[in-house]
């Protein structure tokens, strides 16, 4: 039986759903904790590295740390999903938004500021409500919704003094949360679209969002991720994107998310095996 590692800190509901889906395809899933990994940059005998399986499914949030881990795992010959290039864009909010704009995909009005005073000016220029976002995803500073001047001054000071954060993204927020939709992609296919209504996810028709999801996928490449989008006055916009970690809520609604993820993973593994089997003689670098 072939093996695949689920890169996660623990087995949650989602990992158990993935384990069952993999088993139906004849694959065995094992848990690989990032905290247990020490990967050498050279062939060092002194470092005790784990016996890595041929494929790893990254179940962590996309952050600069996960980008580094993905790159090192890939360098060992292990197939990693998502691929490092995709994870790098998901982890770098500024690069992601610029990548969308380069592909003529609309995003909410956003300003990159590089100091507390310029951040406050940017907030006032865009108008409330706005989001404050670090340039990179992950700790230490979470995304903050700012709805008035008092909150803006307090949050900017907090992030600057306690978080030592100077550069920040100021993004116009959607005034009506019901306009926001969660798009879930597996491979190159939009498998679900959902809105949060009364703290519960409700499925919506995917047809109106397929073109936008396809445009984003063309920029990010195939993978397993979720896209936060919205319908604004100017049309559909992409707010953000991230590695798909939580999907139990969609599974409870009958969406076969785990099966779609596994099918994509096995496609990538199969393609990698076919490429590695091609003779390299006569091929220039």
Per residue in 39-68, pLDDT tens?
888 765 545 666 788 899 999 999 999 999
- Choosing from 143, 172, 201, the residue where a domain stops is 172
Mark out the alpha helices in the chain (DSSP H runs): 13-24, 64-75, 84-91, 93-102, 116-126, 149-161, 210-220, 248-251, 257-276
Segment 6-24 mean pLDDT: 97
For residues 99 and 122, give the distance between their C-alpha atoms in angstroms, rounded to a whole number.
22
Give the domain range for residue 160: 110-172
Q: How many domains does the chain have?
A: 3
Is 282 a member of any domain?
A: no
> Same domain for 78 and 135?
no
> Same domain for 119 and 69?
no
Instruction: Give 180's pLDDT tier (boundaries 50, 70, 90).
Output: very high
> Same domain for 35 and 97?
no
> Looking at residue 10, which CATH number applies to its domain?
3.40.50.20
Is 264 a member of any domain?
A: no
Q: What values do phi and psi take at 186, rounded to 5? A: -130, 120
For residues 236 and 60, give the distance between their C-alpha atoms in angstroms, rounded to a whole number.
28
Tell me the pLDDT tens digit for each residue of 97-122: 999 999 999 999 999 999 999 999 99
> Same domain for 168 and 183?
no
For 26, other C-beta atoms within 10 Å of its C-beta total 9
Tell whether the model's pLDDT for residue 279 goes beyond 80: no
CA dist 203 to 82, 130, 191, 200, Å?
25, 26, 11, 10
> Same domain for 95 and 216?
yes
Is 283 a member of any domain?
A: no
Whether pTM > 0.95 for this model: the answer is: no
> Same domain for 117 and 51?
no
Tell me the pLDDT tens digit for each residue of 241-266: 999 999 999 999 999 999 999 999 99
Is 262 a member of any domain?
A: no
Tell whether the model's pLDDT for residue 234 goes beyond 90: no
């Amino acid at each position: 039986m072939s093996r695949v590692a689920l890169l996660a800190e623990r087995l949650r509901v989602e990992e158990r759903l993935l384990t069952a889906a993999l088993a139906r395809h004849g694959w065995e899933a094992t848990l690989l904790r990032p905290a247990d990994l020490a990967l050498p940059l050279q062939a060092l005998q002194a470092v005790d590295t784990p016996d890595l399986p041929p494929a790893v499914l990254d179940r962590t949030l996309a952050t600069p740390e996960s980008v580094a881990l993905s790159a090192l795992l890939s360098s060992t010959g292990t197939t990693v999903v998502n691929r490092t290039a995709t994870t790098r864009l998901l982890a770098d909010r500024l690069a992601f938004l610029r990548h969308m704009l380069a592909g003529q995909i609309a995003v909410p009005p956003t300003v990159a500021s590089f100091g507390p005073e310029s951040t406050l000016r940017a907030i006032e220029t865009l108008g409330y409500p706005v989001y404050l976002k670090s340039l990179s995803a992950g700790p230490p500073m979470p995304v903050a919704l700012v709805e008035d001047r008092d909150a803006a001054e307090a949050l900017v000071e907090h992030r600057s003094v306690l978080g030592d954060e100077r550069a920040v993204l100021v993004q116009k927020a959607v005034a009506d949360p019901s306009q926001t939709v969660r798009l879930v992609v597996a491979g190159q296919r939009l498998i679900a679209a959902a809105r949060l209504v009364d703290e519960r996810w409700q499925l919506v028709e995917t047809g109106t969002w397929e073109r936008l999801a396809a445009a984003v996928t063309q920029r990010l490449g195939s993978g397993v991720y979720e896209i936060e989008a919205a319908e604004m006055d100017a049309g559909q916009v992409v707010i953000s994107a991230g590695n798909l970690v939580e999907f139990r809520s969609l599974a409870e609604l009958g969406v076969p998310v785990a099966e779609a993820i596994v099918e994509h993973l096995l496609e990538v593994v199969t393609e990698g095996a076919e490429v590695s089997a091609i003779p390299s003689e006569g091929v220039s670098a």
